[in-house]
A and B are shown apart, each in its own frame.
Chain A
């Protein structure tokens, strides 16, 4: 049985965006600790395939953001500021 489909502005933006280069969820999981520490403890930007994957995969993005929160708390860093920085690196064009 089929059903009607309508597109929200968010869906249109998502569907017309570029999510290359390819990175799998498993590879993202392998890298996430190193990448998140790089941002939290060394101020390194999130780039390349890892960034593209986080833009395209809401589940991995949410988990990476949660990891950043815990790591920042451990280090006594500005959690809200780092999360904002994370969102800027990942979600802005």
Chain B
């Protein structure tokens, strides 16, 4: 077990060279890397609001499996490290990604996710927001969701934005990647926004906003 104090975080040469070689230096570097990955995964799990609903054993399993998988990923992708950040920062992101995806999956594992039930706009006046200042925009959005999006775009958008299902869980249920689901979500929002701009309900982005 490597203590936190022993974890090197500053010098890329401390990592890239030994992890690229073999022998005792390689073994030692792998042990140190695994400790680093365990710390990053543990930090994510300790601060994640979603993870609080999981039992201690499940959280520990997620930390260990994430650290194991991230260690392998970092070693396999070592040739892609370009010194644009510290090695430790680059490596941390693999452990955080693994832990975050596993926490989302574990949290939603027992919950029913019915992506085939296409959400339909409620009748006007049925939502509390119909009485708010945003009622016009809300009703326009409901119409746009119903008329401007494909069934697939509607399922993804409703699941993520309205039902609050994590994108990784939606991707799993659809047998797709996070990247592909985000592209669907992005295109759907773009269609909605274009429709709202055409109706004069919102302003198109200015050049200054687009460059921010």
Contacts and interface: CB of A to CB of B under 8 A. Distances in A.
Classify chain A's interface size.
35 or more
A4 B88 CA distance: 47
Contact of B145 (A4, A5, A56, A71): A5
B96 A63 contact: yes
Majority DSSP secondary structure for residues of A touching B: helix
A30 to B, nearest CB: 9
Interface in B126-151: 126-129, 132, 134, 137-138, 141-142, 145
A91 B193 CA distance: 18
Given A15-B192, A51-B212, A37 B86 contact: yes
A14 B212 contact: no
Interface string B163-189: 000111000000000110011011001
Interface in A1-16: 1-9, 11-12, 14-16
A63 B100 contact: yes
Contacts of B179: 24-26
A20 B205 contact: yes
B104 interface: yes
Interface of B: 9, 39-40, 43-44, 47-48, 84-86, 88-90, 92-93, 96-97, 100, 104, 116-122, 126-129, 132, 134, 137-138, 141-142, 145, 157-158, 161-162, 166-168, 178-179, 182-183, 185-186, 189-190, 192-193, 196, 201-202, 205, 209-212
Interface of A: 1-9, 11-12, 14-22, 24-26, 29, 32-34, 36-37, 47-48, 51, 56-59, 62-63, 66-67, 69-71, 73-74
